Amino acid sequence: MQKFAPHFRGYEQHDTQELLSFLLDGLHEDLNRVTDKKYVEDVESDGSGDLDEVAVRAWSGYLERNRSIVVDLFQGQLKNTLQCKKCSHKCIKFESFMYLTVPIASKCDTVESCIAEFCKIETLSGENKWYCCKCKTHVDATKKFDVWKLPPVLIIILKRFDFKRRRKIDQFIQTPTVDFDLSRTVKSVQKDPPIYDLFAVSNHLGGLGGGHYTAYCKNRSSEKWFEFNDERVSEISEKSVINNKSSYVLFFNRVVEVEVDLEEETTGVQNRVGRIRRQSVSMPHLWPHTLSTQPALQQMNVK
């Protein structure tokens, strides 16, 4: 890491989110199966058409430039809705995401409530005004994210660092360890049930200026949890994982009791693991989008 990112050298404090982002982005770029990245226009909608079709078109365009094991495992899709407060014009785009960075409000006590806070309507005004293509000027607007498609491995980052108020939010966030059902959170039909198991947690102990990282990880064979604290490893109770005021980055895997599927070949493994599909422009049936979008795919000449 120090070789490719010199800012991680030495013994100064570094952020695990920054490290994770650099690592996954770097792996994606090095393993990207697309060598010739052609220009792809953004796909957007005013909300009057079939949003499933728009989402499919956006994902197809994204795969024209990005195809790697990192995309297969970690990337999902968000719906981003901007609406003018003056003329009510909407602009809806679908964007890929590697992880969800969710805020912690005073009323947030679970991971699901943090995701709900992330999906709340935000007002854009003042210096953050939005340019409306109908009004031909910058206007006050609303902005809203919705979770559209979820990946096999879901990474959630809790925003514990409030730099405006110069404080760290040490709030207990209840985290389910098994059968975390996100059906109420996602806003489209999922190809596989959006049910997840927690398998790892990165914890931050300390304050805004510095601290110490530990990790909780689950042994898949014994189903036991362990704490990793530098060179020390010790077994911990699941209760310690569920109610945790130091949890910072959460790692979930989707659980579907089916074979692991890479491209069209299967390994025959039956377990509580997620279905992993290798993303390809030419094989839309392996995308996270449902088969109900097949007419849209045919219009796009995708076979």
- Cβ-Cβ contacts under 8 Å for 4 (sequence gap 6 or more): 26
User: What confidence score (pLDDT) does residue 282 get?
Assistant: 85
Handedness of CA 7, 154, 247, 116 (dihedral sign): positive
User: What confidence score (pLDDT) does residue 271 get?
Assistant: 52
* Nearest partner of 100 among 158, 142, 148, judged by Cα: 158
pLDDT level of residue 295 (50, 70, 90 thresholds): low
User: What confidence score (pLDDT) does residue 297 get?
Assistant: 56
**Are 155 and 140 spatial neighbours (Cβ–Cβ below 8 Å)?**
no
pLDDT level of residue 232 (50, 70, 90 thresholds): very high
Alpha-carbon span 118 to 104, nearest angstrom:
9
Name residue 102's beta-bridge partners: 158
Alpha-carbon span 24 to 21, nearest angstrom:
5
What letter represents residue 84's amino acid?
C
Q: Is the pLDDT of residue 299 over 60?
A: no
Q: Is the pLDDT of residue 221 over 50?
A: yes
User: What confidence score (pLDDT) does residue 220 get?
Assistant: 85
Name residue 234's beta-bridge partners: 227
- More confident position, 41 or 295: 41
φ/ψ region of 181 (left if φ > 0, alpha if ψ in -120 to 50, else beta) reads: beta
CA angle 269, 273, 277 (to 5 degrees): 85
Q: Span 174-188, mean pLDDT?
A: 95
Architecture of domain 19-297: Alpha-Beta Complex (3.90)
- pLDDT, tens digit (0-9, with 9 covering 90-100), for 75-89: 999 999 999 999 999
Q: Span 231-256, mean pLDDT?
A: 94
- pLDDT, tens digit (0-9, with 9 covering 90-100), for 89-106: 999 999 999 999 999 999
Any idea where the domains of the chain sit in the sequence?
19-297
Task: Count other Cβ atoms within 10 Å, centred on residue 128.
Answer: 12
User: What confidence score (pLDDT) does residue 49 get?
Assistant: 86
- pLDDT, tens digit (0-9, with 9 covering 90-100), for 93-143: 999 999 999 999 999 999 999 999 999 999 999 999 999 999 999 999 999
Radius of gyration of the chain (CA): 21
Q: Is the pLDDT of residue 169 over 60?
A: yes
Provide DSSP, 12-32.
Answer: S---HHHHHHHHHHHHHHHH-
- DSSP element (H, E) containing 82: strand 76-84
- DSSP element (H, E) containing 53: helix 51-63
